[in-house]
Amino acid sequence: PFNQLYDGTITIISIIVSIQLAFFLFSKNDKAFKKHEKWLYLIGYIILPFIILTKIPIGVDGYNPRILIGIFILIWTNDTFAYVVGKSIGKHKLFERISPKKTIEGFFGGLTFSILGSIVIAKFFIGTSNIGIWIGIAILVSIFATLGDLIQSKFKRLAGVKDSGKIMPGHGGILDRLDSIIYVAPFIFLFYQILNYVS
């Protein structure tokens, strides 16, 4: 069940760490992490977002796994169309220093198709009339999933490795498959909390 103090605490900690990681992404500091920073990122970047993921599917009518599946579909839609559009018409690099293949055109292509996908998901998969909420989730997914992907790319670049692990070789490692969802989860949950508070 939801607990305002507990949920608020883990969300705030996770978002503070996420903001710190965003600063880390845009900084030119390529120094190795200190021990306390590694623990901070382990807890705030990986463990807490997974806890938050268990709470996101709890909607107004109780537990609904389609909510989480819908978010995963939006992430895959964003990734797929960012790649397709970027490959087709992409000319302006998004963040060449970290990820040379990502383009601004690709980002907006992913955002556009994520918004279209969110309307389909809300209407036909979730069965809700609150399409605006899912459009908001799609925008959050496009922005923060892209940031999560870039942060993971910087982690690998600093570590001097191609894959984040030996599981799923050739796909960047298991963390590469989850970097988007773990980074976006606290922001979607915060969005939920704000909507709940406003309503």
Q: Is the pLDDT of residue 60 over 80?
A: no
Q: What is the pLDDT of residues 149-196, one digit of tens each?
A: 888 888 888 877 776 666 656 655 667 678 889 999 999 999 988 887
Helix residue ranges per DSSP H, the chain:
4-26, 35-41, 48-55, 65-89, 104-120, 131-159, 174-198
Q: Convert 146-156 to b/e letters by CB count within 10 Å (16 or more is b).
A: bbbbbbbbbbb
In whole angstroms, what is the distance from residue 28 CA to residue 26 CA?
7
Q: What are phi and psi of 43, to 5 degrees?
A: -75, -50
Helix residue ranges per DSSP H, 90-130:
104-120
What band does 32 get if pLDDT is binned at 50, 70 and 90? confident
Residue 50, token pair as written in the block: 């997974």
As a whole number of Å, the end-to-end CA separation of the chain is 19
* Average pLDDT estimate for 40-68: 88
95: alpha, beta or left, given left = phi > 0 and alpha = psi -120 to 50?
beta
Q: What is the pLDDT of residues 92-149, one digit of tens each?
A: 898 888 888 889 999 999 999 999 999 999 999 988 888 999 999 999 999 999 999 8
Every domain of the chain and the residues it spans? 4-198
In whole angstroms, what is the distance from residue 170 CA to residue 194 CA?
39
In the DSSP assignment, the letter for residue 192 is H
In whole angstroms, what is the distance from residue 162 CA to residue 173 CA?
9
Query: What pTM, to 2 d.p., does this model score?
Result: 0.87
- Please, are residues 159 and 167 in contact by the beta-carbon 8 Å criterion? no
What band does 24 get if pLDDT is binned at 50, 70 and 90? confident
